[in-house]
A = this chain, B = another copy of it.
Amino acid sequence: MQDVADAAGVSVGTVSNVLNHPAKVSPATAERVREAIGRLGFVRNDAARSLVSGSTNSVGMVLADIENSLFIDMAHGAQDAARAVGQNLLLANTACDMRLQDDYLDLFDESRVTGVLLAPMEDSSSGIARIRSHGRQVVLLNYAPKPGTCCSVLVNNEHVGYLAARHLIDTGRTRLGYVVAHDDYQPVRDRRRGVRAAVEEAGPGVTLEEIDSVGLTAAHGHAVGRDLARRAPGDLPDGLIVVTDALANAIIHELHILAGVRVPEQVAIVGCENNRGAGTSAVPLTAVDMPGRMMGQEAIRLLMDEVASGKQHRHATVVLEPELIVRASAPR
């Protein structure tokens, strides 16, 4: 910066002003300084800037699973909203590894980001508490915080389950199956409650069987699908609520393509996330849509709110409603 100042025949203070408060500098001087900056290839040092200002204009976003398009949608929404308020969004993927998650939380903490958006797959209260205790703001996505610990943006996951089950019941299915795994993951727990509520509401004519999958990936879905295909026809549920799309697609594949169990005629299937690709799978998937983009936007809004209002901030939870998207795997 001193070099630039010398080259332009001004002081460093003026160079700084050209960069940060152009109105304070006369047009002629500013032009000279800018020319020198260009000629010398000067890049201001962000570390020094934020050392002085005590903050940055970046928001850190820690994502548990970048493979899942829901998380990608959240990142998209957050990015749009962040840029609208002059913040950059930095992404970090933990691949469901809590150690990595803690590392990234600390990294963002140490780099004094404006705030952190966290979309975890497990309870993360300790990490949140740690960086919050340093004054770092956190907004939790798709995972309810311990009451009063931070802001959060959730989807009404109970209603996700309810909508899925209700749709099957409304279209005449009476022997429902709920394929589920990873029951310690909070959104999954919530969905189950919704499924049960819909079944109870329907009365004794509708039954519910819970079918355990070992995990949430496609491979697990194939295993479940094969098991189901082996059942006697009368023993098969006529409607399946599947807790994730990846699982649902794999089950459809085993049932419909490989085993000849027709979807939706024999078994109607509803997925719970409406991931990218849900519409182009073997049988386009009826699914409950999670509004990922909007979640990201809301999260940034809450974060900037908290940053702006300082001490008198009150934590808020925004709950967005899911929406059923009807496709061929469980038609109207």
Contact = CB atoms under 8 A, between A and B. Distances in A.
Interface of A: 41, 43-51, 56, 58, 66-67, 69, 72, 75-76, 79, 83, 88-93, 95, 100, 103-104, 106-107, 109-112, 133-134, 218, 249-250, 253, 257, 276-277, 279-284
A90 B93 contact: no
A110 B45 contact: yes
Contacts of A48: 47, 51
Nearest to A277: B277
20 contacts: A43-B134, A45-B112, A46-B47, A46-B107, A46-B111, A47-B48, A47-B49, A47-B51, A47-B56, A47-B112, A51-B51, A79-B93, A88-B103, A90-B90, A90-B92, A91-B91, A91-B93, A253-B280, A277-B277, A282-B282
A254 B276 CA distance: 18
Nearest to A50: B47
Contact of A46 (B95, B110, B257, B281): B110
Contact of A75 (B58, B93, B106): B93
B79 A43 contact: no
Given A47-B50, A58-B107, A110-B45, A280 B250 contact: yes
A89 to B, nearest CB: 7
B281 A280 contact: yes
A41 B277 contact: no
Contacts of A103: 88
B218 A43 contact: no
Contact of A95 (B76, B88, B282): B76
Shortest 8 CB-CB contacts between residues of A and residues of B: A91-B91, A46-B110, A282-B282, A47-B51, A46-B111, A47-B50, A47-B47, A43-B134
